[in-house]
Structure 1
Amino acid sequence: MMGCSDEEEQSDETNNKKQHKKKSKGEKHVSFPPDELIVSGFAEHRDNDRKEDCCVTLAEVIWAYKQSCSKHRVEPKECILQQLQQGVFVGGGVKCLDLKGERLDQRSCEALEAVLKSLHFDFINLQAAQLEENGASSLLDMILYYESTTHLDMSDSSSMGTSCWRALAHLIKQSVHLSRLDVCNLPLVDYPAQSLSKALLTSRLTVLYLHNAQLSGVPLYALVSALKSNRALKELHLSNNQLNSYQDALQLGDLLRYNQTLQTLQLSDNAVADAGLEELCDGLRWQTAGLKVLLLRNNQITADGMVHLAKALPVLKVLQVLDLSENLIGNKGIQVIREPLMQNVSVLQLSLQQTNITCEGVVALAEFLAESRQIQQLDLRQNEVKVGGLMALSLAMRINLSLTGLDVDHRLPQEQDEFLSETQTRLQSEIVQRCIANARCSDINTETSTTLPADAKGQGDNATTT
């Protein structure tokens, strides 16, 4: 028995020496429990830590940060000190920690633990931050362990390597409080695309920005494969990713068939085109409780693409916001979707800014307005809307009771005749006044419905329908 005890003591001593040697290598000085312990108990421990520190003042956090910098032999970042001095302290939280463009080596990142363990930030901005590989992964590990933020921006961080992507994926997968992530202007190909996609399988993120991330092709396929089963993400922003009209649009249409959680899909500044719009519309038909916002600004869509939209509009029950701006739809395209828009019962906001529309197309839209009972916003800026179009819109607004915002250019193309110019100004004013009147009625109805008892609300609804 004594021999066994001696062996155990020698073994413990050997392990301690090994651990001491590991610490002396100077790689990462921040260490946390194994993954299984973090998963099972980290949220509880961090909540307890936060409760213990909830009475800490910003002055005490500043002092702790300076002490931590001294310990790690780095100068305190002046921008961090200024933000902490000016920060609004509410129950352990500060609005923002802005480290945009800052140079942060490994020791500077590790010194930040004194701040991250005491305060919760609504937003941590690491956009274009100059991060060393080990320092970046340490910082992300700390943000996860202390649940330091609900919104993290890692955009333009060109120095991100494999270990940093691994730490970011782990953060996405495990974090309880992180709800929004921005990773824009970074190529999401190969390992980054795969690690991000796998993390999204179980992520609690609700908003994801991936602008200009080279997602066309295989990376988009990996992302969509994960999001088909994701039940947390509500907003996906994919503008400027060179998404094409065939393979990429096919994947996105497939996403809309299987995912009923996603509420906003931002696809602006891509090349979805008419063929791609057909795939999206086929997917939209399957949406029964999901997508409310579809943004297709500047996607090489023409009047031919409106044929596919015309087939989908009458059956859409969920989509509320549709942006077709900066596409060559023209008067022909508006004529194609005029009647389907009348049949649609869900779209509340329609943007047709800079879509090559003239008075002919505006008259068709005025006919839609006269029939619609739900449309609230219509954007016609940067189109050639002259007196004829304004007159049609003004007449439609005498009937329409739902539109509260009709955007046309304040400086419309000047008519040659002085009388027409005066008429143009008068019609614009009439349209504005009608929108204001509709907005007031809408506010009154909303206020009444929220103050009435439950039984009275039902009676009021029946009376309105009648």
Structure 2
Amino acid sequence: MTMSDHAEEEEVAHRLGGKSRREKRVSFPPDEEMVSGYAESKDARQDGDSRNLSDIISAYERSCAKHKVAPDPRTLDQIKEITCLTNRARCLDLQGVRLDYRMCESLEEILKSVRFNLINLQGAELEENGASSLMDMISYYESATHLDVSSNTDMGVSGWQALSRLLIQSGCLWRLDACNIPIEDYPAQALSRALLSSRLTVLHLENTGLSGKPLFTLVCSLKKNIALQELYLCDNELNSFHDAMQLGELLKYKRTLRTLDLTNNAISDSGLEELCDGLRVQKSGLRTLVLHNNRITHRAMTHLGSVLPLLRTLETLDLSDNDLQDRGMHVLKEALISNRSITRLGLASVGITCEGAVVLAEFLAESRFLQMLDVSQNLILTGGLMAFALALKLNRTLAHLDLDRNPNEEEDEFLIETQKDLLSRISDLCAANAEAASEMDRGSAALFNHDDCDGKDNSGEAVARRVPAQTLASA
């Protein structure tokens, strides 16, 4: 050996956190020969290790030979494309590559010399020992700022322990994707324990079966977490009672959360009431709320309508694929007019007709903030399109109005041509608003640059664009 037994033990302990000499990971060769090397220090790797790409590729190939695995051709191609070793490479994409323990061990020669923005391990068939080994390497070498371990269902207790350590110890990892994995019992506990002190700002947990006790465990940690800003819980069959109550509690206590995406769940009307109770307490903080396809009906719009005027930071609200109908638009209209923060509103496939479109048009005529509105996949015919066209003569902010471009319900040729003309007019009016907004942004930038040159104070508040307080009828 090149180091004393004592020094080697200290070095391996340092690699795994430095807490104890007993907490070490020893990597045995495939033939179980005695270990003859030692973990290199971070400083050596951060220094570039005086290696070029050829050295890294050669070291990886030797490591593969040592562990009796074939070098992965895709991995070699990606390493060859790296242009700068001093900055993070864009991605190490190992999606679909079968990473058993030996394959994971062979990757250390790459991870010790190259750091990446994203390491993609989707569907890599990670098993317990391999997952544990790889997570420890990624943690020690600070290999990724974004890690995707989705669709790896056999990481086992050791794998989840190592992932938990990685989340706690990493100073650079800001996003984790762990989708399509059953997060129950121990995985939920390990993840929740890590989230108490993790620096993650984005967490994707789509299709993980988090409903019930696992969600409760997660929320308990997130209430104390001060870093996480975006949480994606799509496709988890979240229910309208216990799950929605937990999410409502999360909104009450977690003020750093900016995005909550609950797409394709079963929050329903009573669940939305729980969420609104949480929003009512928070009032500020959350900027994006996605409730796409959650079995919500027009009856729940009273709960949403009561809280929308109170929200000062919510910018994106997506209610698409819920059964809101025209009645829901009537209930929401005044609340939307009173709200002064929403800039993007999703109402695709919510069962509205021309009646609901007219109600939305009345809101548009009053709105000074909305920039994007999606009302596609609704039964909006000539009357509704006409209402939107009239509203846009008064509105100065809407830059994107998503409508079905080929409405086919009208049978009269004149009405079909009228629809085409109205769609074209709506498109032109939105484009004019977008151009005006761009001009204002350019003018503001020029003004600030001029003030900077003159040494003037730029602390003045931005003034919202004002639209004449006229009704759609008067137009």
User: Normalising by structure 1, what TM-score?
Assistant: 0.89
* Alignment-mate amino acid for residue 355 of structure 1: V
CA shift, 1:46, in A, is: 6.6
Distance 2:463 2:427 in 1: 30
Shift of 1:160: 1.2
Structure number with higher helix proportion: 1
Relative distance call for 1:458 and 1:129 in structure 2 (3 A) is closer
2:28 paired with 1:33: no
Q: Secondary structure of 1:327's partner?
A: coil
User: Using a 3 Å threshold, how does the CA distance of structure 1 residues 458 and 152 change in structure 2: closer, same or farther?
Assistant: closer
Contact 2:48 2:85 in 1 (8 A): no
Q: Kindly indicate whether the alpha-carbon contact (under 8 Å) linking 1:54 and 1:91 is maintained by their aligned counterparts in 2.
A: no
Residues in 1 aligned to 2:367 and 2:158: alpha-carbon distance in whole angstroms: 54
1:37: Cα distance to partner? 5.6
Matches within 5 A, 1:291-306: 291-306=286-301
Shift in Å, 1:394: 0.2
**1:274 — aligned with what?**
269
The match for 1:452 among 438, 447, 456 is 447
| 391, 395, 401: which one aligns with 1:396 | 391
Supply the distance in 1 between the matched residues of 2:71 and 2:305 (Cα, whole angstroms).
Answer: 60
Aligned match of 2:400 in 398, 405, 410? 405
The change in CA–CA distance for 1:307 and 1:218 in structure 2 (over 3 A counts) is same
Residue 32 of structure 1 and its aligned partner are, at CA, apart by 5.2
Q: Secondary structure at the match of 1:67?
A: helix
Which of the residues 147, 151, 154 maps onto 1:156?
A: 151
Once the two structures are superposed, residues 198-239 of structure 1 have per-residue CA deviations (whole angstroms, 9 ceiling, x without a partner) of: 100000011100001111111111111111111111110000
Displacement, 1:463? 9.8
User: Which aligned pairs between 1:105-254 and structure 2 lie closer than 5 A?
Assistant: 105-254=100-249
Mean Cα deviation higher: 451-460 or 329-338: 451-460
Aligned residues between the structures: 438
Who is 2:89 aligned against?
94
Contact 2:368 2:466 (C-alpha < 8 Å) held by counterparts: no
- Residue 238 of structure 1 contacts residue 267 of structure 1 at CA under 8 Å; is this kept in 2? yes
Residue identity matched to 2:268: A
Separation of aligned partners in 2, 1:46 and 1:355:
58
Q: How far apart, in 2, do the equivalents of 1:144 and 1:460 lie?
A: 44
Pick one of 79, 84, 95 that aligns with 1:84. 79
Gaps (5+ residues) in structure 2?
21-39, 468-475
1:135 Cα deviation from its structure 2 partner: 1.5
Task: Establish whether residue 329 from structure 1 lines up as the match of residue 302 from structure 2.
Answer: no
> Equivalent residue of 1:205, what SS?
coil
CA deviations over 1:221-267 (Å, ceiling 9, x no partner) = 11111111111111100001111111111110110111111100010
Hey, what's the Cα distance between the residues in 2 that align with 1:462 and 1:183? Answer: 42
Deviations, residues 10-61 of structure 1 (Å, cap 9, x unaligned): xxxxx959x99x9xxxxxxx875352469xxxxxx97633442176322221
What's the offset of the Cα at 1:71? 2.7
Contact 2:48-2:86 within 8 A present in 1 as well: no
Quick one: which of 322, 338, 352 aligns to 2:347? 352
**Identical residues among aligned pairs (%):** 49
Amino acid at match of 1:385: I
- Tell me how far 1:287 sits from its aligned partner: 2.5
User: CA 1:93 to 1:459, structure 2 compared with 1: closer, same or farther past 3 Å?
Assistant: closer
Alpha-carbon shift at residue 447 of structure 1 (Å):
1.4
| Partner residue, 1:265 | 260
**Paired residues of 1:56 and 1:92 also in contact (CA < 8 A):** no
TM-score by length of 2: 0.87
Structure 1 residue matching 2:281: 3-state secondary structure: coil
Task: Please tell me the residue identity of whatever aligns with 1:233.
Answer: L
